[in-house]
């Protein structure tokens, strides 16, 4: 079977997402402060949940990432961990507006996230009591590789590491690089396992995994770039490639990913042991469990 063109479903996704946002807004405006009305909150949660799932599936990772954080807050309301307040409702209404803008820009094939939505994400995280969004600007050279995106004056280094498929064949070990990075500062790693095939289809010499790494912003960039997988450093184009965030979210195979600057970072902050373990993304590659 030839590869399915997911763009044929985009308009349906956009249309139903707009309807979902309308439903979210209407339900938010009906919410009273205090204990959340379960039916209203479920309506709001379901809409956000659908938008998150659809945007991740159809290649809009910024919308998925934004909606995921909003969904966390909604889940807190749904479970009773938080009570509804005027401030929470007002924030969520602004998030609905923010998502409308993101969908609109995505429909025009523009970057969905912008400074305003990043600021909203910071507010959501503050409401959740989690870390603010690390600021990331475009990677400097699309011809090189996944190396660290510029963190700017503040914020962590966000590193999208997408090795080429032949990395392992040439005697390189990504975990060696992680160990070297971990010596530079507190390293956080998330693995994307979307491209890992079933066991019977797997070539043991092919690298199917991509990683997102985060180091404190105080780490010097040149030290990061000297870290090596064995025969290649992070700045060596032969071993690595950049991936656009959209390609990662769709689970495109390593060969299908194009070399382009990583312009955004994922916000996973899960710590791992020196041996890289899958993050929650490992669930997206879960196979038939057989009961």
Give contact residues for other proteins (rule: CB under 8 A): 1, 3-4, 6, 8-10, 12-13, 16, 43, 45-46, 49-50, 52-54, 56-58, 64, 194, 197-198, 201, 249-252, 280, 283-291
Cβ-based neighbours of 150, under 8 Å, separated by 6 or more: 136, 137, 138, 139, 140
Which residue's CB is nearer to other proteins, number 11 or number 218?
Answer: 11
Question: φ, ψ for residue 257 (rounded to 5)?
Answer: -80, 140
- In the complex, minimum distance from the CB of residue 180 to other proteins, in angstroms, rounded to a whole number: 31
In whole angstroms, the minimum distance from the beta carbon of 85 to other proteins comes to 24
Cβ burial 271-289 (10 Å sphere, 16+ → b, else e) = ebeeebebbebbeebeeee
The residues pairing with 228 across neighbouring beta strands, listed in sequence order, are: 233
Find the shortest distance in angstroms from Cβ 39 to other proteins: 10
- Shortest distance (Å) from residue 196 CB to other proteins: 9
Taking the least distance from each CB to other proteins, the nearer of 92 and 247 is: 247
Minimal distance in Å, beta carbon 273 to other proteins? 19
Q: Which is nearer to other proteins, 8 or 153 (CB)?
A: 8
Q: 16: buried, middle or exposed (CB in 10 Å: 19+, 13-18, 0-12)?
A: middle
CA angle, 102 then 96 then 106, to 5°: 15
Nearer CB in complex with other proteins: 4/153: 4
Which one, of 65, 69, 216, lies nearest residue 154 by Cα? 216
Residue 60 vs 211, nearer CB to other proteins: 60
């Amino acid at each position: 079977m030839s590869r399915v063109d997911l763009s044929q479903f985009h308009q349906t996704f956009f249309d139903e997402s707009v309807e979902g946002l309308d439903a979210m807004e209407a339900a938010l405006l009906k919410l009273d402060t205090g204990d959340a009305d379960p039916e209203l909150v479920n309506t709001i949660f379901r809409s956000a949940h659908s938008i998150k799932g659809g945007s991740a599936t159809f290649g809009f990772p910024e919308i998925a990432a934004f909606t995921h954080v909003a969904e966390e807050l909604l889940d807190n309301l749904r479970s009773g961990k938080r009570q509804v307040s005027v401030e929470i409702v007002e924030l969520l209404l602004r998030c609905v507006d923010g998502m409308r803008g993101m969908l609109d820009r995505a429909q025009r094939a523009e970057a969905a996230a912008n400074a305003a939505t990043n600021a909203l994400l910071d507010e959501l995280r503050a409401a959740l009591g989690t870390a603010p969004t690390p600021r990331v600007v475009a990677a400097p050279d699309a011809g090189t590789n996944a190396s660290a995106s510029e963190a700017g004056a503040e914020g962590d280094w966000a590193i999208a590491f997408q090795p080429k498929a032949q990395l392992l064949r040439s005697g390189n070990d990504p975990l060696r690089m992680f160990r070297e990075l971990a010596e530079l500062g507190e390293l956080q790693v998330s693995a994307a396992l979307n491209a890992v095939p079933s066991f019977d289809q797997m070539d043991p010499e092919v690298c199917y995994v991509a990683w997102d790494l985060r180091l404190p912003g105080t780490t010097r960039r040149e030290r990061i770039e000297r870290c090596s997988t064995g025969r290649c450093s992070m700045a060596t184009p032969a071993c690595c490639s950049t991936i656009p965030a959209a390609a990662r979210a769709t689970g495109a195979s390593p060969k299908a990913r194009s070399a382009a600057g990583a312009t955004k970072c994922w916000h996973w902050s899960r710590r791992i042991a020196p041996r890289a373990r899958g993050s929650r993304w490992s669930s997206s590659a879960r196979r038939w469990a057989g009961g």
